[in-house]
Amino acid sequence: MSEARARLLSTASGLFYAEGLHSVGIDRIIATAGVTRATLYRHFPGKDDLVVAYLTLADEAIRARVDAARSRDALPEDVIRTVARSIADDIRGPGFRGCAFLNAAAEYPDPAHPVHRAVLGHRQWFLAAITELFTDTGKPDPEPAGRHFAMLRDGAMAAGCLTDPEPICATFLRGVEGLLEYRSGLGPDDGA
């Protein structure tokens, strides 16, 4: 928890997210953080561990936001809406560069690699969390609904940094709303 370690992780996160994992070297990180090589290797065994720490940080931040939405809104539908709105805010926000996890997976395809596994872990949690929210709504077929939500999210985050984010956010939020609203008229056996 030393100050140098915090500065290191913070600047590394910024650089990794903005420019990519392989494009950012150790030299850039320590120079930007104003820290020595030895200090980095005191806190992190290697670059891979620094990347994993970066993803862990992002994972915790997102979990915290979902938890906050959970405790703020009473109805599970509203929690889902709040989560969707927070995703849209991210996409609209300055410096948005897509999903940190999808970007990481693109650079680390090997399923056995710690970085790739960190991505898988986060995505597994997210799908379970959003599916649970759909379950809480009491509507039929929460599982395909959760998958549908996650798919829209992935697509929105992937596209949001490549063109004008406004129409992407509009499409995403409308898709989520449709997923939420029109399912209420459905029976339990006609899919999603």
Partner DNA sequence: GGTTGAGTAGACCGATCGTTCTATCTACCT
Partner DNA sequence: AGGTAGATAGAACGATCGGTCTACTCAACC
Q: Which residues here bind DNA, judged by CB under 7 A?
A: 2-5, 22, 24-28, 34-39, 41-43, 45-48
Task: Please identify, using beta-carbon distances, which residue of 45 and 95 lies nearer to DNA.
Answer: 45
151-152-153-158 Cα dihedral, nearest 10 degrees: 90
Amino acid occupying residue 172: F
Q: What does the per-residue mask of binding to a copy of itself show for 113-152, with x meaning CB under 8 A? A: ------xx--xx-------------------x--xx-xxx
DSSP class of residue 24 equals: S
Under rule CB under 8 A, residue 13 binds a copy of itself: no
Which residues does 116 contact at the CB level (< 8 Å), separation at least 6? Answer: 104, 105, 108, 109, 110
113 binds, among a copy of itself, DNA, none (CB under 5 to 8 A by kind): none
Which residues does 5 contact at the CB level (< 8 Å), separation at least 6? Answer: 43
- Taking alpha carbons only, the member of 112, 120, 117, 143 closest to residue 130 is 143
Q: Closest distance between a copy of itself and the C-beta of residue 94, in Å?
A: 14
Under rule CB under 8 A, residue 165 binds a copy of itself: no
Task: List C-alpha distances in Å: 173 to 40, 43, 157, 184.
Answer: 41, 41, 12, 17
Under rule CB under 8 A, residue 171 binds a copy of itself: yes
Task: Please identify, using beta-carbon distances, which residue of 76 and 160 lies nearer to a copy of itself.
Answer: 160
- Largest Cα–Cα distance in the chain? 62
Mark the segment that binds a copy of itself (CB under 8 A) among 4-12, 31-39, 51-59, 167-175.
Answer: 167-175
| Residue ranges in contact with a copy of itself by CB under 8 A | 18-20, 22-23, 97-99, 102-103, 105-109, 119-120, 123-124, 144, 147-148, 150-156, 158-159, 161-163, 167-168, 170-172, 174-175, 178, 182, 191-192
